[in-house]
C-alpha cells in the first residue's frame, strides 16, 4: 500500500526541529530514524537533540516570553485562531502524516486532526476572557483583588498515540494565557508535531513562543533538562505512571507547577437495566478506538450476570465486523500497534488470561501476514480478578469481559486499582447513575456513552493517574498563577 502524496510536501520536515522560529538540526548532527508501524519501512529522520540543544530552546522561549506575555488576550486569540484555520486547511496532509507514523486508519486520523484543531479554536475564544477577582477586605480602607498571570516557560512532553491532539491540548491554553513553550515531540511520531510547528510559523506565532524539539535515545536527557532547568516554570506530561513519577521527582528540585496525565485502567460497567445494544456500541467505541491504544480505553469490561451472555454475543458480533490492515487502505477499521513491545504486551495479557481459564471467543493471535505489529481484535470471556488484565493496562485491541452480581461488588472491583483516570457505566436507573458516578474513584465518568473527550470538558485523573486538568476552563488555570494585590489607604471620602 503506497503512502498518499502530501498536497504540501513542505509540511514534512526531515532532519530539523523548530527552535526560535528557525528549522535547525541537532548541534551534534545526530539523527534518529522513524518507521511506519504498519510496514516497518523507513519514513524519515529527525534530529537527536541533547541537553545543549534543549537549553537553547528554553533560552529562546524565555526571551520570547518577555514580550509575548504582554500581548493582549485578543491579540493572542487571533494568533490561535489563525493557527486553527491553517490546521483545518491542511487537515488531509496532517491526517496522512498521522496514519503514516502512527498507523491509525485515515478516518481516525482525520477525526484526530479536527479534535486537535478544536483545542486551538476553544482556547482562542478563552484567551480574551482571563478574569481575576475582587475580594472584600477585612481591613477598613484596604482593597483586595487578584490578577491571573502566565506561569512562564513551559516544558511539554507528549505521547505518540495522539501526535496532534496531545500537543494542541497543551499548547493551546499555554499560548492563550501568555506562556511560551518547549514541546518535546514523541520519538515514534515526530513528523505531525513538526508539521504543526510549520503551521504555527505560517500563522505568525512570534519566534521563540513555540519550540518543537525531537529526540529518541536522548529522551531521558532531554526530559531531565526540561524538569530541572530553573527557567522552566511549568511541566505538563502525558504518558506512563512510572515516567510521570520520575519527572515529578526531577521537578521537585525547582518546585515547578505540574500537570500529569498518566496511565489508566478504565472500568466499563454494564448493569442489567442498561440498553444492551447501546452498551455494546459504547463499549466498542471505548475499547477499540485506535486499536485500544488510548489512555481512556475500557480496559476491564464488567457485565452483570443477567445479561452477560447476551452482551458477549452481540459484542463479539460487532468485533467480527472489524477489518484490520494498513491505515491507508480503504475500508480498514483498525491499524497496527505502534511497535513490537506493544504487541508483546498484548500477547502476554492474552496468554495469561487463557492460562487462568478465560475463553477466547474471537482473535487472540498476531497477524504476521499483514505486518510486524498487527494483532487480531480479541474478545475474552470468563475473566477473573486474578488475571493480569484486571490490574494492568493492556493498551491494545483485547476486550476482557468480567461477570459480576451486585452494584457494590462491581464498584469495589472497579476501584481496586492504584490508578483512576476514566470510568464508564451503562444504566437506565437515575438513582444508580448518580450513586455509581459518585463512588467511582476516577477523574472522568462516562454515563451511557463510551466517548468522553471534548475540548470543553476537563480531562484528567486521580490517584496514580496524575493531577491537573486539560481542556475546558480548568485547563486554562494550569498555566496561570494567581497574584493578590492589596491597595491600602483608600479610607473614606476626603472632606
> Helices 91-102 & 106-126, crossing angle to 10 degrees?
120
Give dist(CA 197, CA 311) in Å, integer: 45
Check whether 64 has a pLDDT greater than 80: yes
Q: State the pLDDT at residue 419.
A: 98
Average pLDDT rounded to a whole number, residues 438-457: 97
What separation in angstroms does the CA of 141 have from each of 58, 138, 252, 485, 493? Answer: 44, 9, 40, 14, 11
Residues with catalytic roles: 261
Burial code (b: 16+ CB inside 10 Å, e: under 16) for 171-185 equals: bbbbbbbbbbbbbbb
Give 242-297 pLDDT, tens digit per residue. 999 999 999 999 999 999 999 999 999 999 999 999 999 999 999 999 999 999 99
Give dist(CA 309, CA 280) in Å, integer: 12
CB 376 within 8 A of CB 324: yes
Structural domain boundaries in the chain: 9-262+465-483, 266-447
Q: State the pLDDT at residue 87.
A: 98
Nearest alpha-carbon partner for 37 in 243, 290, 264: 290
List of residues 6+ apart from 429 with CB closer than 8 A? 271, 273
Q: 462 pairs with which residues across the strands?
A: 420
What separation in angstroms does the CA of 438 have from each of 106, 177, 411, 459? Answer: 37, 32, 10, 17
User: How large a percentage of the chain has pLDDT more than 70?
Assistant: 100
Give 338-372 pLDDT, tens digit per residue. 999 999 999 999 999 999 999 999 999 999 999 99
Average pLDDT rounded to a whole number, residues 378-407: 98
Q: 155 pairs with which residues across the strands?
A: 182, 235
Give dist(CA 71, CA 217) in Å, integer: 37
CB 222 within 8 A of CB 49: yes
Model confidence at 72, pLDDT cuts 50, 70, 90, reads: very high
Give dist(CA 282, CA 450) in Å, integer: 4
Give dist(CA 294, CA 339) in Å, integer: 15
CB 214 within 8 A of CB 185: yes
Give 104-128 pLDDT, tens digit per residue. 999 999 999 999 999 999 999 999 9
Q: State the pLDDT at residue 388.
A: 98
Give dist(CA 452, CA 93) in Å, integer: 26
Check whether 1 has a pLDDT greater than 80: no
Q: State the pLDDT at residue 495.
A: 82
DSSP 492: S
Nearest alpha-carbon partner for 382 in 407, 353, 405: 353
Check whether 431 has a pLDDT greater than 80: yes
Q: State the pLDDT at residue 304.
A: 98
Mean pLDDT of the chain: 97
> Helices 91-102 & 191-202, crossing angle to 10 degrees?
160
Burial of residue 295 (CB within 10 Å: 0-12, 13-18, 19+) is buried
SS3 for 43? strand
Give 3-state DSSP helix, strand, coil % of the chain, rounded to 5.
40, 20, 40
Q: State the pLDDT at residue 494.
A: 84
Q: State the pLDDT at residue 292.
A: 97
Q: State the pLDDT at residue 154.
A: 98
Architecture per CATH, domain 266-447, reads as 3-Layer(aba) Sandwich (3.40)
For the chain, how far is it from start to end, CA to CA, in angstroms?
A: 86
Q: State the pLDDT at residue 146.
A: 98
SS3 for 21? coil
List of residues 6+ apart from 123 with CB closer than 8 A? 80, 172, 173, 175, 176, 475, 476
Query: In 10 A of CB 344, how many CB atoms?
Result: 12
Q: 146 pairs with which residues across the strands?
A: 484
Give dist(CA 384, CA 300) in Å, integer: 10
pTM over 0.85: yes
Rg (CA), the chain: 24
Q: State the pLDDT at residue 492.
A: 85
Give dist(CA 305, CA 33) in Å, integer: 50
Q: State the pLDDT at residue 308.
A: 98
Q: Which CATH superfamily is domain 9-262+465-483 in?
A: Aldehyde Dehydrogenase; Chain A, domain 1 (3.40.605.10)
Model confidence at 491, pLDDT cuts 50, 70, 90, reads: confident
Amino acid at each position: 500500500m503506497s503512502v498518499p502524496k502530501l498536497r504540501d510536501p513542505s509540511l514534512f520536515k526531515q532532519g530539523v526541529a523548530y527552535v526560535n522560529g528557525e528549522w535547525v538540526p541537532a548541534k551534534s548532527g545526530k539523527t534518529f530514524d522513524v518507521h511506519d508501524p504498519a510496514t516497518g519501512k523507513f519514513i524519515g529522520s529527525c534530529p537527536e537533540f541533547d541537553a545543549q540543544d534543549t537549553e537553547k530552546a528554553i533560552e529562546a522561549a524565555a526571551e520570547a516570553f518577555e514580550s509575548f506575555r504582554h500581548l493582549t488576550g485578543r491579540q493572542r486569540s487571533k494568533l490561535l485562531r489563525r493557527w486553527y484555520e491553517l490546521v483545518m486547511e491542511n487537515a488531509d496532509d496532517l491526517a496522512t502524516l498521522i496514519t503514516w507514523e502512527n498507523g491509525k486508519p485515515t478516518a481516525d486520523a482525520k477525526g484526530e486532526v479536527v479534535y486537535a484543531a478544536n483545542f486551538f479554536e476553544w482556547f482562542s475564544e478563552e484567551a480574551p476572557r482571563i478574569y481575576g477577582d475582587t475580594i472584600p477586605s477585612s481591613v477598613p480602607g484596604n482593597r483586595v483583588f487578584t490578577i491571573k498571570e502566565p506561569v512562564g516557560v513551559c516544558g511539554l512532553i507528549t505521547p505518540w498515540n495522539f501526535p496532534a491532539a496531545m500537543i494542541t491540548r497543551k499548547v493551546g491554553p499555554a499560548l492563550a494565557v501568555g506562556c511560551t513553550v518547549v514541546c518535546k515531540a514523541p520519538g515514534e511520531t515526530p513528523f505531525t508535531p513538526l508539521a504543526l510547528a510549520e503551521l504555527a510559523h505560517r500563522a505568525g506565532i512570534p519566534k521563540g513562543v513555540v519550540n518543537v524539539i525531537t529526540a529518541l535515545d536522548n529522551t531521558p536527557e532531554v526530559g531531565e533538562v526540561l524538569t530541572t532547568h530553573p527557567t522552566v516554570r511549568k511541566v505538563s506530561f502525558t504518558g506512563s505512571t512510572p515516567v510521570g513519577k520520575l519527572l515529578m521527582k526531577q521537578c521537585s528540585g525547582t518546585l515547578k507547577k505540574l500537570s500529569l496525565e498518566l496511565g489508566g485502567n478504565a472500568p466499563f460497567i454494564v448493569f442489567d437495566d442498561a440498553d444492551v445494544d447501546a452498551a455494546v456500541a459504547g463499549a466498542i467505541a471505548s475499547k477499540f478506538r485506535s486499536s485500544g491504544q488510548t489512555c481512556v480505553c475500557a480496559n476491564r469490561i464488567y457485565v452483570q450476570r443477567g445479561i452477560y451472555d447476551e452482551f458477549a454475543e452481540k459484542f463479539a458480533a460487532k468485533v467480527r465486523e472489524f477489518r484490520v490492515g494498513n491505515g491507508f487502505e480503504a475500508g480498514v477499521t483498525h491499524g497496527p500497534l505502534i511497535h513490537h513491545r506493544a504487541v508483546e504486551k498484548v500477547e502476554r495479557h492474552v496468554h495469561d488470561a487463557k492460562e487462568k481459564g478465560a475463553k477466547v471467543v474471537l482473535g487472540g493471535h498476531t497477524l504476521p501476514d499483514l505486518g510486524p505489529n498487527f494483532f487480531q481484535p480479541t474478545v475474552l470471556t470468563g475473566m477473573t480478578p486474578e488475571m493480569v488484565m484486571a490490574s494492568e493496562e493492556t493498551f491494545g485491541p483485547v476486550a476482557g469481559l468480567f461477570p459480576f452480581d451486585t452494584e457494590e461488588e462491581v464498584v469495589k472491583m472497579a476501584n481496586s486499582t492504584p490508578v483512576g483516570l476514566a470510568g464508564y457505566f451503562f444504566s437506565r436507573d437515575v438513582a444508580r447513575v448518580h450513586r455509581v458516578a459518585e463512588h467511582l474513584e476516577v477523574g472522568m465518568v462516562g454515563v451511557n456513552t463510551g466517548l468522553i473527550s471534548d475540548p470543553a470538558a476537563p480531562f484528567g485523573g486521580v490517584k496514580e493517574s496524575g493531577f491537573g486538568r486539560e481542556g475546558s476552563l480548568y485547563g486554562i488555570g494550569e498555566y496561570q498563577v494567581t497574584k493578590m494585590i492589596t491597595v491600602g489607604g483608600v479610607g473614606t471620602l476626603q472632606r
